[in-house]
Chain A
């Protein structure tokens, strides 16, 4: 419960997303707009799912106890489903916007759907991460003792890592989802929905931080690899990039080797 915990957890959770933003999005204003619009869509989906949860709570007469926990689980599942629905809605909007941009600016190249998939996934992820973690983060500054009633003292660290996983997963889900929409492979959409439900559900089922984190990271690595190959990457291009021999990438950054 110190500044060290605050900064440490903040950078664990938001560091990669911030780096992605600074290096890929901040330089092009159009991408910033698409990012914020993606964040807005996630926000609206959260609003609607909160409304559903609220109504469910009112219907079950607001009693405390296990009923409320089941209502919450129901609300969380509905929220995941609505998030994916809004991801689809954002895809449709971006499709229309791409066509509109092409008619307005026939000379300039509109951003490709793959880039928009990445930007929208990052928008969803950042908003999701911020909403789940920022209040916890601001509490970590204040005076207090973690786990005073017998809970785990690793609460902040666990939350930070889970938030990181969720943000990156949203990026990968965005890429896979949009690719499925473009190529009309609806099974990809279903797989994204199911993995999202799986990651969410394991946080309800198990309260052991270690197991949750490890399985979430495994899913993250699998989705990441899949998204990499879907976005057009290959082992060869990865090797070239890591060894700084990728000529196109170097030319783009105006460096010589």
Chain B
């Protein structure tokens, strides 16, 4: 069965070096230059974010211009996280430590938190570990309604202004987290954690991680020759990477970067599916064989 299709090539404005060059070497060089442009933008933006936070250039959580930074930051490539997260003098570690010194919670817009009760049991232990679990890896962007499971818990006020709450409600829709349901969830947890803030329990994941995952899956769907096969393979690989990271979190009980395992799996499966699996499935579909 023969099937014909056509493809379109899109050139993005922020990656000025074209990838349609003649030799492989030139193409590699252009890719490196494109990546370097994006990495430097991200590093600059991250340092700007930390500087603004350090010198308290924020009035309230609603006024902080997350959106402008988000528009720049959202076009990221993957390797920048080495500078931002792992470097001891890096900007994000400074951000986390400054927030810890001031004993403040980080912007709710930068972190996704889940208070699923069964995960609490996996990370049971000292409250100190719980506090450290909450200050996790990458931070960026405002929360996306894609991940809105209605269990996002919050403090009584937590410094949220009325406008921010109205904005959140318009994004998420009416959410079912009431003081009664939160009290019920607190009842269920073990006695060690009984006195804990609901925000501190459960697993927290930086929203920047979601952005990186989305970028990888989006890239797979846009440019891979395997079309849907590659996209789905990347999707499943990233989910499994996240599961393994959560498992490691339960074992080591301290803050971990959420990216490396997921992105490694995602990349491995991206290339493997594109170059190995896709021709195989293509041939099988052509001959109408089923495995």
Contacts and interface: CB of A to CB of B under 8 A. Distances in A.
A131 B236 contact: no
Contact of A134 (B229, B269, B283, B291): B229
B248 interface: no
Given A33-B243, A104-B121, A105-B121, A131 B229 contact: yes
B269 A43 contact: yes
A203 interface: yes
Interface stretch (B46-54, B58-66, B139-147, B274-282): B274-282
B232 A135 contact: no
A54 B280 contact: yes
Contact of B240 (A29, A40, A162): A40
B281 A69 contact: no
Contacts of B291: 49, 76, 79-80, 83, 128, 132, 200
Interface string B267-291: 0010011001101110111011111
B290 A203 contact: yes
B232 A130 contact: yes
A127 B240 CA distance: 14
A43 B290 contact: no
Contacts of A200: 289-291
Contact of A47 (B118, B273, B279, B288): B273
B1 interface: yes
Contacts of B2: 149
**Interface size class of chain A, counting residues whose CB lies under 8 Å from the partner chain:** 35 or more
A155 B277 CA distance: 22
Nearest to A36: B239
Given A33-B243, A39-B236, A132-B281, A54 B276 contact: yes
A2 interface: no
A72 interface: yes
A160 interface: no
B289 A144 contact: no
A85 to B, nearest CB: 14
A10 interface: no
Interface string A131-166: 110111011001010010101000100010010001
Contacts of A33: 243
Interface of B: 1-5, 116, 118, 121-122, 227-229, 232-233, 236-237, 239-240, 243, 269, 272-273, 276-277, 279-281, 283-285, 287-291
22 contacts: A36-B240, A47-B269, A47-B273, A49-B291, A50-B279, A54-B276, A54-B279, A54-B280, A72-B289, A73-B289, A104-B122, A128-B291, A130-B228, A130-B232, A131-B229, A132-B285, A132-B290, A134-B229, A134-B232, A138-B227, A139-B5, A166-B290
Interface of A: 29-30, 33, 36-37, 39-40, 43, 46-47, 49-51, 53-54, 68-69, 72-73, 75-76, 79-80, 83, 104-105, 108, 127-128, 130-132, 134-136, 138-139, 142, 144, 147, 149, 151, 155, 159, 162, 166, 199-200, 203-204, 207
Query: What 8 pairs across the A-B complex have the smallest Cβ distances?
Result: A50-B276, A50-B280, A134-B228, A50-B277, A79-B291, A40-B240, A203-B290, A76-B291
